[in-house]
């Protein structure tokens, strides 16, 4: 796997108390602070993320408001 590409699973509970897990393909051109900043702008911190193997899920990317760095 390219070190600049990783996939995350975002686990969250909606306002009705229903838990969800959403896999998001995140491309980090610049690691570290820039990546943290992008995650923060999406309302997510690194410790909320479960890292999983890289795979292409670009079809769901736009629907969750995530942006490539």
Running along the chain, 69 residues long, what does each successive block of 10 average in pLDDT?
53 71 55 62 58 39 45
Run of H or E residues at 41: helix 33-41
Residue whose token pair is 């600049």: 4
Euclidean distance between CA atoms 47 and 18, whole angstroms: 20
Euclidean distance between CA atoms 55 and 53, whole angstroms: 6
pTM of the model: 0.30
């Amino acid at each position: 796997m390219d070190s600049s590409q990783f996939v995350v699973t975002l686990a969250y509970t909606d306002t009705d108390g229903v838990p969800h897990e959403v896999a998001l393909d995140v491309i980090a051109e610049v690691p570290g602070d820039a990546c943290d900043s992008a995650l923060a702008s999406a309302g997510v911190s690194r410790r909320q993320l479960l890292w999983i193997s890289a795979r292409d899920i670009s079809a769901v990317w736009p629907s969750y408001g995530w942006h490539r760095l």
